[in-house]
Structure formats: structure tokens, C-alpha cells
Amino acid sequence: MSLSQILTERKSKNEQNIPSDKWAIMERATKDLKTENLSNKAIKTGEILPNFSLPNIHNNLVSLTDFNADFLIVSFYRGGWCPFCNMELKALQDILPEAKKLNTELVAISPETPDNSITTHEKNELSFEVLSDLNNTYATSIGLVFQLPEDLREVYHSFNIDVPKHNNNNDYELPMPATYVLNSKREIIYHFIPEDYTERLEPTTILEVIKNA
């Protein structure tokens, strides 16, 4: 089953199981982001991804320049509390052996603290770098960040999702789940920036992009 099919199945189950009033709030929040065309503000294909220096799960700083492969996959995710993010991370882990054969490295970035990223890393048995973009500083600089509306925050609270605890701040800001494929010059050769958090770039598409580059 493809990642898209897995995500679609999960979204369908959510719609069936989540109370209709809460589901309506969640859907409206996504629709508002699409109406705003938030992704238009983000860095895109043809541009150079700016350098970063972010802590990994061991609190060691990792920079974009530390990756020396021919290609680099950069995946932004909302946090380990998000089931759609975990499904994507697992799918990326699954293609890692083939990606390495194509001299490609992979890094995932979220606003979670390193301590919370450890949980995400271990839960999904990841063998690639998971970095913490504290306060979404880097994601904001490349146009990926939005703020959760008040009513959606209350819905998350009702699900026992504590975004402030995961991110160690109270701004309720999250990145769109963007994926970038970079070449050795750190030029973006492909981007996928959905306003809808239930949509993610198919890992097989990433591999095809790299093979054809």
C-alpha cells in the first residue's frame, strides 16, 4: 500500500471516529490555509535552501553543510504527536536503503524539543537525523509556518495533544509538512508543500525525482 493510500485510509477513519463538530473545525482550519495560499510564501524549486544549524536528538548541532551526498531529502513535520507525520517518517525510513544507493541523505525537521524528538526517533525506528527547529525559527525564515487557530487548539487539547509541551513554547505555531529534494549545490530540484497536513509526498516520487535528476 502506498503512503497516500495509508494516509487516505487514516483520514477516513478519523472522519468516522471524531465528533462532527470537532471534525468541522479541523477541516475548516485546513480550508483556511488553502484559501490563504500559504504555500506560495515558501521557498521553492530553483532556489537555494539556506543553511541551518539545528540540534539533533543528542543536542549536537547539525548544519546543512554537514550533508555531503549528491542529493538530500529535507522533510518538515509537525511533531511526533501527529499520526500522519509518523506514517510519513516510517515511509521515508523504508526508502532509505534505496536512497543511499543513489548517494542520497535524509533529514527530518520539526519544532519539537530534542527530548521529544528522541521519542519520535525511537518510536519510528529512524536511522536518519531528526532535528529540532526550536520556535520554528528556521521554518519561519523559509515561509512554512502558520499559527493554529484558537478553536483548533481546543480540539487538540480534547485529544490530549499538548503542542506547547512538545515545542516548549506557547505560540502554537507549526510548519506545513513540506518536503524538499536538493542537489549537491543545495539547490531545490523538487518541492512539495501541502497546506493539508494529511497530504505528504509519495516516497517513490522522491526516488524518481532523484533518478531523473
**What pLDDT score does 76 carry?**
98
Mean pLDDT, residues 27-41: 96
Domain map of the chain by residue range?
3-212
Percent pLDDT > 70 in the chain is 100
The CATH fold assigned to 3-212 is Glutaredoxin (3.40.30)
Looking at every residue in the chain, the average pLDDT score rounds to 97
Residues 80-122 have pLDDT tens digits of 999 999 999 999 999 999 999 999 999 999 999 999 999 999 9
**Considering the entire predicted model, what is its pTM?**
0.96
Q: What digits encode the pLDDT tens for the residues 125-181? A: 999 999 999 999 999 999 999 999 999 999 999 999 999 999 999 999 999 999 999
Ordered DSSP codes for the chain: --HHHHHHHHHHHHHHHS-HHHHHHHHHHHHHHHHHTGGGGS--TTSBPPP-EEE-TTS-EEEGGG--SSEEEEEE---TT-HHHHHHHHHHHHHHHHHHHTTEEEEEEESS-HHHHHHHHHHTT--SEEEE-GGGHHHHHTT-EEE--HHHHHHHHHTT--HHHHHTSSS-EEE---EEEE-TT-BEEEEE--SSTT----HHHHHHHHHH-
* Residue 17 predicted with pLDDT over 90: yes
Average pLDDT over residues 4-9: 97
Q: What pLDDT does 56 receive?
A: 98
Residue 1's pLDDT is what?
A: 87
Q: What pLDDT shows up at residue 45?
A: 98
